[in-house]
Amino acid sequence: MIPPTPEQVEANMTEKMGSLPESLASAKAIDPRFLIEHAMSSRFSTMDENNPLDKKTSLMITLATSIAIGNEECAAKQAMLLKKNGMTQEELAYLVKLVRHSQGAAVVSNARAAFDAFME
């Protein structure tokens, strides 16, 4: 498979999302190969033809991850794509509830060493 050019990646992202994400535009200014790497990573994950999940579910997982790791730019772009793919406000609200629950569980789990120190 021949990888796309940076120009092809930028055109594709602009078509899908309205613009190239600012972070990728900055990365492109340093080295246009970042766009190719990003496109190949997407093709390997969310755009993989062997993905057993439907497009909307894959995008929802990506949005949840973007929210959990604090990537606002990606979360905004993913939300826009999801809106185009039929995600409802109710689904978005529930997704955020799930992320909030997972983050809260992670805080308690991360505190285990501190809890254990008080049990000695």
What pLDDT, in 10s, does the model give residues 27-65?
A: 889 998 888 888 887 776 777 788 899 989 999 999 999
Asked if residues 12 and 47 have their Cβ atoms less than 8 Å apart, the reply is no
Residues of the chain with pLDDT > 90, as a percent, come to 54
* Burial (Cβ within 10 Å: 0-12, 13-18, ≥19) of residue 39: buried
CATH class of the domain defined by 53-120 = mainly alpha
pTM of the model: 0.74
**69 vs 36: which has the higher pLDDT:** 69
Question: Is the model's pLDDT at 95 over the cut of 90?
Answer: yes
* Location of each CATH 1.20.1290.10 domain in the chain: 53-120
Q: Would the pLDDT of 1 be above 80?
A: no
SS3 content of the chain, % helix, strand, coil (to 5): 75, 0, 25
72 or 19, which is more confident? 72
CB 6 within 8 A of CB 32: yes
